[in-house]
Amino acid sequence: MLQDVTKNADILVTDIDPEVIRADLAKLGDKLKVPADEVYIPSVDEIRYAIGSQWKQRFLIQKNGTYFISPIQFNVDTGRWVNYHEADWQERPWMLKCGGCHATSVDLEANTFIEPGVGCEACHGPGSHHAALPASETFEKRATIINPSKLTPGVAVQICGSCHNCGKSTKAKGSGWAVGYTPGKALEVYYESIEAGSKYLYSNEFSKGHHQQYIDWRKSAHAKAGIDCLDCHVVHELGNPAFRGKTLAKGDQLCLTCHAQTQQIGAHSVHSFGNCSACHMPKIAKSAESGDIHSHVFVAIEPKITKELQIPNSCQLCHRHAEEDIDDLQRRWDELTARRVSDGDVVKANN
């Protein structure tokens, strides 16, 4: 999430080569607000911290004691450089705009943070007293730290929602993170999530962008049923290559711990080779490249929704159906998801 390049330059996932960077930026054409040959490119010596490494990497530099994200971004999966606020990057102090979700214990007044990245205190609250007490003081130690598993689910999930969210601070003007919030508090006092009509949402209110899982989840049947982040995700396991999304189990294995498929009918009759999330968590949001992040509303999106709402559908996100006609896809979906009952009538399958 945030790593110190001055201590380990190998954190950088690619070379900072101005010639290559400007060549990629030039391909963006009218999407650039500054000509490619005028976009500011930091040298490796200027980069203090690297932000991210899985989907993309951005670069934090310091000017007059203030951190800024430089206006270039490397997209890991596609290996290309793109722009990032190239016209106004020096008007966007990183600490104010983003810092609280990338570093631990950010203090805007002091312009400091305690730890780069998401450390223990990001989810458990201030812990110096907890650490100082001897192990023999069991109950006292417990009382000095926040344990999300001991909170009510509605409060605990807000810890995740304090960063996996999109909106603005209610306490610090211009801030994009929950300034003043600490685990165990009520998030909505400190943060206002985006609402319908935002450019970061499709017209049906599903998210287009990253750090959106919490606002999507709140719209889902999972939220109504009390299924929250920790029912699917691990938080303390690191570096397991089998679980890019840090889930408790891989693929369908996770879904089937709760959902038992009893009838191979409708769409499920031909997609048994697939993955539940491919249809019910379509990749319609963007972190680095369009469609690299799963939706967390847990709703399969039919082709007709694309025509109605201009939102990608679950079918065309598959390579096999990517270029197919939407009307024909919907017709085949309707035929596929209809089944006959004993009297010969056709009814819609409830999938």
Task: List the beta strands (DSSP E) in the chain.
Answer: 3-4, 47-51, 56-63, 66-69, 72-75, 80-83, 103-104, 115-116, 167-169, 191-193, 283-286, 290-294, 338-340, 346-348
Pairing of strands 72-75, 66-69: unpaired
Q: What is the pLDDT of residue 270?
A: 73
Pairing relationship of beta strands 115-116 and 103-104 according to DSSP bridges: antiparallel
Q: Which amino acid is at 150?
A: K
What per-residue confidence (pLDDT) applies to 348? 55
Contacts from 88-94 at CB under 8 Å and sequence distance 24+? Answer: 89/40, 90/63, 92/68, 93/66, 93/67, 93/68, 94/60, 94/66, 94/67, 94/68, 94/69
Q: What is the pLDDT of residues 233-290, one digit of tens each?
A: 988 876 555 566 788 888 888 898 998 876 777 778 777 666 788 899 999 999 999 8
Residue 338: predicted pLDDT = 78
pTM for the whole thing? 0.89
How many angstroms separate the CA atoms of 267 and 263, rounded?
Answer: 11
The pLDDT score that the predictor gives to residue 342 is 47
The confidence score (pLDDT) of residue 248 equals 87
Is the separation of the CB atoms in 115 and 3 below 8 Å?
no
Position 226 scores a pLDDT of 93
Distance from C-alpha of 32 to C-alpha of 210, rounded to nearest angstrom: 21
Neighbours of 101 (CB within 10 A): 19
Beta-carbon contacts of 35 under 8 Å, excluding residues fewer than 6 positions away, are: none
What's the average pLDDT block by block, 10 residues per block, for the chain (351 residues)?
94 97 97 97 97 95 96 97 97 97 96 94 94 91 93 95 97 97 96 93 93 95 94 79 74 87 74 79 93 94 92 89 92 80 51 46
Token readout for 94 is 């990183």
Tell me how crowded residue 347 is: count the other CB atoms within 10 A of its CB. 9
